[in-house]
């Protein structure tokens, strides 16, 4: 049995580094430095007498002992936050967060876990919508923060989280018959990804036909998986089993897409959640 209690800040650094797979991202989430995270981890591992994380130059991952300790570490943080909230008797804070349909993807559950809101006294309202609609809602003051995707130059009032090139996805057995327009699956207008895909095809002189319009990326992914059409998507939100088809079908390269966070001043608890969320997307 340990003679001294664990340092709560070191435990928090461990959980974030494990969740985000990076000391740099954990430092971003905690508004500190990578060196500070490394020091906290060393102290925690020295205290427990075992290695919790295996480090490489580009990534960190849980060791066997770290995987065993992680559930208890989460429980400790949750109990700590609940104790502070009960003592302060502060009313719950609220964060209204918009996430672009072209950003949320199939890993939304993991993303929400990384908000770290268990026992924090924070209520989060999440809205999934097209980037254009979220920017409008943010400008009107209807939401506190928005994570949006844009093609071309990003708005200057946001924080860039990542940049990645869009990719043409289709079912592995998708066939484009000779002389047939490329069958497209898209989101309804206005959609920046749809507009970028169409501009790219038009610039290359390739005929296309919009055969499926989805009310969300999940529907577009289903059309791709069913072999109905191809779609321009980020790799992180492509449906399972879909294949990159640009080379096979002779399709032009799509533009680089930017994921950015727009946020206004909010409660400190909400700010901490946004830092963790931004860190999970940054560089992804």
Say which CATH number the domain at 213 has.
Answer: 3.40.190.10
Residue 14: count of CB within 10 angstroms of its CB: 26
Q: Is 252 exposed, middle or buried (0-12, 13-18, 19+ CB in 10 A)?
A: middle
Q: Is the pLDDT of residue 95 over 60?
A: yes
Question: Could you tell me the residue range of the domain that residue 144 belongs to?
Answer: 93-150+259-270
Reported confidence tier of residue 169, pLDDT bands at 50, 70, 90: very high
Compare 197 and 273 and report the one with higher pLDDT: 197
Say yes or no: 177 and 226 in one domain. yes
Residue 1 lies in a domain: no
Q: What CATH number is associated with residue 65?
A: 1.10.10.10
Taking only the tens place, the pLDDT of each residue in 123-132 is 888 898 888 8
Left (φ > 0), alpha (ψ -120 to 50) or beta: where does 94 sit? beta
Check the CA dihedral 161-113-145-273 and report its sign.
negative
Residue 162 lies in a domain: no
**Strand partners of residue 99:** 128, 147
- Out of 60, 88, 116, pick the residue that ends a domain: 88
Q: Is the pLDDT of residue 161 over 60?
A: yes
Taking only the tens place, the pLDDT of each residue in 201-237 is 999 999 999 999 988 888 999 999 999 999 999 888 8
Reported confidence tier of residue 155, pLDDT bands at 50, 70, 90: low
Residue 56 lies in a domain: yes
Predicted pLDDT at 34: 87
pTM higher than 0.75:
no
Q: Is the pLDDT of residue 283 over 70?
A: no
Taking only the tens place, the pLDDT of each residue in 79-94 is 877 776 666 666 667 8
Tokens describing residue 170: 């289709």
CB 131 within 8 A of CB 260: no
Say yes or no: 76 and 17 in one domain. yes
Residue 184 lies in a domain: yes
* Rounded percentage of the chain residues whose pLDDT exceeds 90: 30
Predicted pLDDT at 103: 86
Say yes or no: 145 and 191 in one domain. no
Predicted pLDDT at 209: 94
Instruction: From 76, 31, 68, select the one nearest 51 (Cα to Cα).
Output: 68
Q: State how far the Cα of 168 lies from the Cα of 232, in Å rounded to an integer.
A: 5
Compare 108 and 241 and report the one with higher pLDDT: 241
What total of structural domains would you count in the chain?
3
Q: State how far the Cα of 1 lies from the Cα of 20, in Å rounded to an integer.
A: 30
* Rounded percentage of the chain residues whose pLDDT exceeds 70: 88
Say yes or no: 123 and 79 in one domain. no
Say yes or no: 23 and 67 in one domain. yes
What is the pLDDT averaged over residues 154-179? 84
Tokens describing residue 142: 């209807």
């Amino acid at each position: 049995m340990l003679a001294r209690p664990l340092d709560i800040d070191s435990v928090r650094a461990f959980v974030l580094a494990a969740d985000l797979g990076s000391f740099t991202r954990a430092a971003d989430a905690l508004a500190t430095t990578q060196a500070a995270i490394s020091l906290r981890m060393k102290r925690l591992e020295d205290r427990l007498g075992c290695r919790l994380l295996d480090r490489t130059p580009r990534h960190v991952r849980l060791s066997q002992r770290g995987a065993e300790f992680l559930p208890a570490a989460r429980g400790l943080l949750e109990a700590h936050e609940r104790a502070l909230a009960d003592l302060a008797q502060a009313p719950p804070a609220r964060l209204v967060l918009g996430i672009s349909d072209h950003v949320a993807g199939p890993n939304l559950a993991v993303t929400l876990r990384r908000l770290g809101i268990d026992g924090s006294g924070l209520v989060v309202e999440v809205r999934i919508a097209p980037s254009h609609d979220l920017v409008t809602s943010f400008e009107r003051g209807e939401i506190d923060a928005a994570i949006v995707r844009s093609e071309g130059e990003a708005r200057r009032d946001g924080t860039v989280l990542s940049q990645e090139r869009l990719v043409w996805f289709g079912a592995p057995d998708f066939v484009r018959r000779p002389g047939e327009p490329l069958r497209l699956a898209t989101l309804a207008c206005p959609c920046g990804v749809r507009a970028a895909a169409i501009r790219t095809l038009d610039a290359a002189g390739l005929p296309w036909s919009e055969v499926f319009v989805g009310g969300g990326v999940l529907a577009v992914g289903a059309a791709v998986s069913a072999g109905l059409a191809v779609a321009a998507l980020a790799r992180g939100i492509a449906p399972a089993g879909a294949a990159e088809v640009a080379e096979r079908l002779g399709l032009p390269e799509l533009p680089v897409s930017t994921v950015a966070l727009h946020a206004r001043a909010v409660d400190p608890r909400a700010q901490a959640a946004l830092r963790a969320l931004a860190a999970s997307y940054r560089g992804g």
